[in-house]
Structure 1
Amino acid sequence: MRTTRTAPSRRSFLGLAAAAAAGPALAACGSGSASSGGGGTVKFWDMPWSTPAYNVAAKKITEAYKPSSGALKASYQITQWNNFYQTFASAVASKTGPAVSTGGGFQVFQFEQQGAIAHADNVIDALKKNGQFDDFLPGVLDPFKLDKGYIAIPWQLDMRVMWYRKSLFDKAGVAPPTDWPSMLAAGKALKKISALGFATGAGSGNSYANHAVIQMMLSNGGGVWTPDGQVDLMNDRNLEATEFLYELVSNGLIDPAAVSYTNDNLQAQWKDKTKAGYGLYASGLDQSIGDTSGDLMVAPVVTGPHGDKATLVFPNNIMMYKNTPSQQSSEAFLVYYMGQLKQYWQQKVLSGLPVFKSITELPEFAGNANNVRIIKEWQPIAKTFAARGTALNANIAVLDGGQATTQFAQTVITGEGNAKSALKAFEASLKSAIKS
Structure 2
Amino acid sequence: MSTPRAAVSRRGFLGLIGGSAAVTALAACSTGGGGGSASRPLKFWNMPWGGPQFNPTDKQITLGYKPASGLSTPTYQAVQWANFTQTFATAMASKTGPAVSSGGGTQAFQFAKQGFIAEADDLVDSWKKNGIYDDFLPGLLDTMKTPSGYVAVPYNLDMRVLWYNKSLLEKAGAEPPTDWQSYLDTAAALKKIGVYGFAANGNASGGNAFQMIVGFMINNGGGIFDAEGKPNLVTTANIQALEFIEENIRKGYVDPGAISYTATNSNSQWKAEKFGMGIDVPGLAANVGGTTAADLVVGDPIASDSGKKGALYFPNNIMMYKNTPSQKDSEAFLTYYYKHMAELWTKKTGIGLPVLKSIASTPEFQSDPNQVKIVKVWQPVAKTWAAPGGTALFSNVSYVDSTTPMNTFMQNVLSGKTPKESLTALQTTLKGEIK
Band the TM-score falls in, shorter-chain normalisation: over 0.9
Question: Which residue number corresponds to residue 112 of structure 1?
Answer: 112
Structure 1 residues 337 and 428: alpha-carbon distance in aligned structure 2, compared to 1, 3 A threshold: same
TM-score normalised to structure 1 length = 0.92
Question: Which residue number corresponds to residue 33 of structure 2?
Answer: none
Whole-Å separation in 1 of the counterparts to 2:402 and 2:2: 22
Superposition deviation, residue 412 in structure 1: 0.9
Write the letter of the residue equivalent to 1:280.
I
Question: Between Structure 1 and Structure 2, how many residues are aligned?
Answer: 422
Q: What RMSD in Å do the two structures reach over aligned CA positions?
A: 2.0
Superposition deviation, residue 22 in structure 1: 4.4
Question: Which residue number corresponds to residue 373 of structure 1?
Answer: 373
Question: Which residue number corresponds to residue 31 of structure 1?
Answer: none
Write the letter of the residue equivalent to 1:397.
S
Superposition deviation, residue 290 in structure 1: 2.5
Alignment of 1:67-216 (within 5 A): 67-216=67-216
Residue by residue, what CA displacement relative to the aligned partner does 1:92-137 show, whole Å, maximum 9, x if unpaired?
A: 0111111100000001111111100001112112211211111110
Whole-Å separation in 2 of the counterparts to 1:13 and 1:239: 28
Write the letter of the residue equivalent to 2:289.
G
Question: Which residue number corresponds to residue 395 of structure 2?
Answer: 394
Whole-Å separation in 2 of the counterparts to 1:189 and 1:424: 34
**Does the 8 A contact of 1:62 with 1:76 survive in 2?**
yes
2:297 partner SS: strand
Residue by residue, what CA displacement relative to the aligned partner does 1:323-346 show, whole Å, maximum 9, x if unpaired?
A: 112221111111111111211111
Whole-Å separation in 2 of the counterparts to 1:252 and 1:333: 54
Whole-Å separation in 2 of the counterparts to 1:19 and 1:209: 22
**Does the 8 A contact of 1:197 with 1:278 survive in 2?**
yes
Ranges in structure 1 where 5+ consecutive residues have no aligned partner: 27-35
Residue by residue, what CA displacement relative to the aligned partner does 1:219-250 show, whole Å, maximum 9, x if unpaired?
A: 01111112232211111111111111111111
Superposition deviation, residue 370 in structure 1: 0.6
Question: Which residue number corresponds to residue 30 of structure 1?
Answer: none
Question: Which residue number corresponds to residue 32 of structure 1?
Answer: none
Question: Which residue number corresponds to residue 433 of structure 1?
Answer: 433
Superposition deviation, residue 168 in structure 1: 0.8
% same residue? 49
Residue by residue, what CA displacement relative to the aligned partner does 1:161-184 show, whole Å, maximum 9, x if unpaired?
A: 010011111111101111111111
Question: Which residue number corresponds to residue 406 of structure 2?
Answer: 405
2:88 partner SS: helix
Alignment of 1:156-305 (within 5 A): 156-272=156-272, 274-291=273-290, 294-305=294-305
Write the letter of the residue equivalent to 1:286.
A
Structure 1 residues 5 and 234: alpha-carbon distance in aligned structure 2, compared to 1, 3 A threshold: closer
Superposition deviation, residue 65 in structure 1: 0.5
Which deviates more from structure 2 when the two are superposed, residues 98-107 or residues 201-210?
201-210
Whole-Å separation in 2 of the counterparts to 1:215 and 1:247: 16
Whole-Å separation in 2 of the counterparts to 1:212 and 1:243: 14
1:430 partner SS: helix
Which deviates more from structure 2 when the two are superposed, residues 420-429 or residues 284-293?
284-293
TM-score normalised to structure 2 length = 0.92
Superposition deviation, residue 151 in structure 1: 0.8
Whole-Å separation in 1 of the counterparts to 2:176 and 2:367: 22
Write the letter of the residue equivalent to 2:234.
M
Write the letter of the residue equivalent to 1:284.
G
**Does the 8 A contact of 2:155 with 2:355 survive in 1?**
yes
Write the letter of the residue equivalent to 1:80.
Q
2:340 partner SS: coil
Question: Which residue number corresponds to residue 60 of structure 1?
Answer: 60
1:308 partner SS: coil
Residue by residue, what CA displacement relative to the aligned partner does 1:28-66 show, whole Å, maximum 9, x if unpaired?
A: xxxxxxxx9996111011111111200010000111100
Whole-Å separation in 2 of the counterparts to 1:67 and 1:124: 19
Whole-Å separation in 1 of the counterparts to 2:40 and 2:339: 23
Superposition deviation, residue 155 in structure 1: 1.1
Ranges in structure 2 where 5+ consecutive residues have no aligned partner: 27-35
Whole-Å separation in 2 of the counterparts to 1:124 and 1:23: 28
